[in-house]
Structure 1
Amino acid sequence: MITSLPSETGRFAEAFPYVRVGTGPETLLVIPGLGDAMFDGEYGRIGTALTRRNFDRFVGEYTVYVVSRPRGLAKDKSIERMAREYAGVLERDVGTASVLGLSMGGLIAQELARLRPDLVERLVVGVSGCRVAAGSRPILRDLRGHALEREWTAIRSRLYDEMFTGMRRRFYPFLSGTVGRLRPPTPAFGSDVVVSIDAILAYDGSDRLEGIDPRTLVIGGDDDPFYPEEILRETHAGLSDAQLAMFRNASHGVFLERKAAFDNWTRRFLDGETTRVRQQ
């Protein structure tokens, strides 16, 4: 049973909130996206249970660490500086690991693999790429404006609108803006959301892709407003040793909407299977 898996929560270096599930012989470090700044940093019973469910495909073979960023980020904190801090977590607390970065976490993961390839066995750039698409920058600026006004429910609703497709795209933003107001996001520091968005907007790693040595999987949806097909392909083409898995008619939330297939591709890559570019 998933609920019986061993788990642990805490803070690395008294700063990085984390939750660990499973005790597999391999290690997987998960770096979360922008939503990481939207909660208080305390992984309680619900957060731990969600981690078990989200990574149940991995915990048989892997010990999975989901590691959040510190609360109270410096105003000038960049993706590159965040990557150096995650390198410290690996070196000091976790050890060498495969790394899965989701969305903003994918930006950090790329820099981590470039700076410290000795710490990264395999790299998965999930719903992310070497930079955000130009067309998504107005969306991010709108989210930044909501963050400055501390309109957390509005941010969540807008993210849902951009992440999902079909019925979920119609239902989730409505649910967030109605009954979801009873349990709004609770950032420990509202400024962390602004700093995170600024870091995303400032990052462009397109000229540094060839410096990433670990074997890499780039995986996402072709209709993602932030990292669409052209960004996925540009990222894949710039890497020296990479695979590309792309989902058709899928958006930024493909890792949730098509979870089984997303997890299957990721797990097969981490386990050493090789494939050419795949579309699904």
Structure 2
Amino acid sequence: MLSIQTAAPPALRSDTGTLPDDHPYASVGDGSRALVVLPGVGDSMFPGTYPPFTGWAIAPYFARYLREHTVYVLSRPRGLPAGYDAADAVESHARALEAIADSHVGIDVLGVSMGGQIGQALAAQQPELVDRLVLANSAHRIGDGARETVREFQVAARNRDWASIRSGLATAMFTDGRAVAYPLFLRTVGRPLQPRPADPSDVRRSLQFVLEFDGRDLLSTVEPPVLLVGGDRDPVFPPERTRATVERLPNGDLELIPGAKHGAFHERKATFDSRVQEFLEATDPS
């Protein structure tokens, strides 16, 4: 890994670079365990290269985990293959996690939305690489009511209208003024300021992955303990989906945050972090 030297505190290590199978990453911390964050669909809509300062930029966001963990934000490769599915995701992510495992005593995975779908498949098919799994606003399948929205995003992706996708995601994520302010900004003065995808087809293929993924048959084989944290107003992975997901897990627990939508992991950060930290402290990583 590439070590980035700046004026940050010497105890705080920050790295950026690329892991096997061309997974871009940014990491921060020097904990003995790794917390690997798998992002959602929005990951496909940026160039795919993390600037050297990224680790320190994300350090405040993940501060509660840095005592025992080194946090890795692990992006998907740019240029996803046609028909990208769970098998492709597991194959490439497993190699990236194996590289991370070489430097740590164990790996916990935090999958956000689409990243949670990939996390489910990883935990089921590569249990030796995942000690504990947190699913943030995710489930075995998207809600029926969200499918039309995702198809609208696919049309926008074909037209390279990234602002429409980002504004739609903001509406689904937030319950406060950001649900109105962000879409307005993104569709107007903010439109030329938004990062562009390195490969526009990645957006379409990520959206298709979300539409087609169904992990129901995987859940009963997931060995690691799983915590699912969602919002009870999430329009993408509604409560009936998250409850059904946890019911199929051998060792699963559910935390539904009242009033939260698809951005509970961000908008209700203090509540989310407290519950995740409690889960990590209470479960045996061995």
State the TM-score bracket (shorter-chain normalisation).
over 0.9
Q: Are 2:79 and 1:69 equivalent residues in the alignment?
A: no
- Once the two structures are superposed, residues 198-255 of structure 1 have per-residue CA deviations (whole angstroms, 9 ceiling, x without a partner) of 1111111112211101000011101111111101100110101011111011100111
Aligned counterpart, 1:53: 60
Following TM superposition, by how much is the alpha carbon of 1:29 offset from its aligned partner in structure 2, in angstroms?
1.0
Measure the CA separation in 2 of the matches of 1:4 and 1:118.
30
Say if 1:153 and 1:209 are closer, same or farther in 2 by CA, change over 3 A: same
Moved over 4 A (4+): 1-4
Measure the CA separation in 2 of the matches of 1:174 and 1:45.
31
Following TM superposition, by how much is the alpha carbon of 1:45 offset from its aligned partner in structure 2, in angstroms?
4.8
Aligned counterpart, 1:24: 31
Which amino acid is the alignment partner of residue 68 of structure 1? S
Say if 1:82 and 1:148 are closer, same or farther in 2 by CA, change over 3 A: same
Aligned-residue CA RMSD (Å): 1.8
Measure the CA separation in 2 of the matches of 1:47 and 1:35.
17
Following TM superposition, by how much is the alpha carbon of 1:186 offset from its aligned partner in structure 2, in angstroms?
1.1
Following TM superposition, by how much is the alpha carbon of 1:2 offset from its aligned partner in structure 2, in angstroms?
8.2
Query: So what's the TM-score if we normalise by structure 2?
Result: 0.91
Measure the CA separation in 2 of the matches of 1:138 and 1:128.
17
Aligned counterpart, 2:86: 79
Aligned counterpart, 1:277: none
Say if 1:220 and 1:2 are closer, same or farther in 2 by CA, change over 3 A: farther
Which amino acid is the alignment partner of residue 101 of structure 1? G
Aligned counterpart, 2:5: none
Measure the CA separation in 2 of the matches of 1:226 and 1:134.
8
Following TM superposition, by how much is the alpha carbon of 1:40 offset from its aligned partner in structure 2, in angstroms?
0.5
Is there any run of 5+ residues in structure 1 with no aligned partner, and where?
Answer: 275-280
Asked if structure 2 preserves the Cα contact closer than 8 Å seen for 1:123 and 1:215, the reply is: yes
Which amino acid is the alignment partner of residue 146 of structure 1? A
Query: So what's the TM-score if we normalise by structure 1?
Result: 0.93
Measure the CA separation in 2 of the matches of 1:74 and 1:6.
33
Measure the CA separation in 2 of the matches of 1:175 and 1:45.
28
Identity %: 41
Aligned counterpart, 1:200: 210
Measure the CA separation in 1 of the matches of 2:115 and 2:10.
26
Q: Are 2:241 and 1:231 equivalent residues in the alignment?
A: yes
Superposition pairs of residues 23-42 of structure 1, within 5 angstroms: 23-42=30-49
Q: Are 2:110 and 1:100 equivalent residues in the alignment?
A: yes
SS across alignment from 2:156: helix
SS across alignment from 1:37: helix
Is there any run of 5+ residues in structure 2 with no aligned partner, and where?
Answer: 1-7
Q: Are 2:24 and 1:7 equivalent residues in the alignment?
A: no
Q: Are 2:152 and 1:142 equivalent residues in the alignment?
A: yes
SS across alignment from 1:179: coil
Measure the CA separation in 1 of the matches of 2:218 and 2:23.
27
